[in-house]
Amino acid sequence: MTELHSLMDNYWSFLKDQSSIEKISGTDYFAINTPFLDRHNDYIQIYAIPRNGGWLLTDSGYTLDDLEISGVTINTPKKKEIFQQILNGFGINSEKNEIFALVNSENFAQKKHDLVQTILSVNDMFFLSRVQIKNLFIEDVIKWFDDNDIRYIHNLKLTGKSHYDHRFEIIISKSKKAPERIIRLINDPQKDIIQSAIFAYEDVKNSNRIFKPYVIVNGQETAQNQASANNAADYFLAGNKNIGLMEYRITQVPFVEIAQFKDEFAA
């Protein structure tokens, strides 16, 4: 027990010794440097600002801004739910991208700790599991179609010539201006997933269905890295275009460029 107490004392000493406070010149703000690292291996920094006889502890918007720059935006119901659960768990607030807590002298230390733990947890939203990422990606795409008032059918099974069923996330019915458009969403474009998509489209096409095939892809850079790791780098061409999809005339839509296809999907 004495050894455990000693270890705990060493831990608290570490937190204290590795923390520092700097007054920001020309302001009444203080920067608090903590010993905790974010996913970039940078020390997490928060700010303390005098406020109504107490303190405002804040990340000044850095955490969410950094996630957005990295491609993770808290803009769908599921992401907002995960984010709110993190905030509620630590009793921390957020407004306009800022994560903060209003504290007094009695709870300053505890709320400072809670704020740092919140920042660490929100940072971890970048490392969501593959299943969670896939679900969030599908949500993002569906939200984009809804926001742009583009008609579609979600999650439809089509039977190919082989009599196998193939599920496609988005079907846009034909119009006077465009044929039917069948869209598969690919979050993690590894070679076997691309091959599966090609087979599905070809099987449905051979059942005499007339349509234009698309894949909306998330994480092209990841796919290239994985392809290289699997000695299949030749499966990709310059510009993040998949040679297999190109050979079968399947239009590739990187999700970050989906706005360029708005008129094509809305036709």
- pLDDT tens per residue, range 126-185: 877 667 777 888 889 999 999 999 999 998 989 888 888 888 999 999 999 999 999 999
- Residue 78 in contact with residue 55, Cβ under 8 Å? no
Most confident of 18-27, 173-182, 216-225: 173-182
3-state secondary structure of 188: coil
- Residue 136 in contact with residue 79, Cβ under 8 Å? yes
Q: Are strands 180-186 and 236-237 parallel, antiparallel or unpaired?
A: unpaired
Whole-number Å distance between alpha carbons of 204 and 207: 5
Whole-number Å distance between alpha carbons of 263 and 205: 24
**CA 263 distance to own-chain centroid:** 26
Please, which residues have CB within 8 angstroms of residue 12's CB and are 6 or more apart in sequence?
A: none
- Residue 72 in contact with residue 125, Cβ under 8 Å? yes
Q: How confident is the model at residue 48 (pLDDT cuts 50, 70, 90)?
A: very high
pLDDT of residue 237: 42
Q: How many CB atoms lie within 10 A of CB 148?
A: 12
Most confident of 102-106, 144-148, 207-211: 144-148
**CA 128 distance to own-chain centroid:** 8
3-state secondary structure of 203: helix
Q: What's the mean pLDDT in 212-223?
A: 73
Please, which residues have CB within 8 angstroms of residue 186's CB and are 6 or more apart in sequence?
A: 193, 194, 197, 215, 216, 217, 218
In this prediction the pTM is 0.63
pLDDT of residue 35: 86
Q: Inform me whether the pLDDT recorded for 64 exceeds 80.
A: yes
Q: Inform me whether the pLDDT recorded for 4 exceeds 50.
A: yes
Burial class (CB in 10 A: 0-12, 13-18, 19+), 176: exposed
Q: Are strands 236-237 and 241-242 parallel, antiparallel or unpaired?
A: antiparallel
Average model confidence (pLDDT) for the chain? 84
Q: Inform me whether the pLDDT recorded for 222 exceeds 50.
A: no
Whole-number Å distance between alpha carbons of 233 and 75: 33
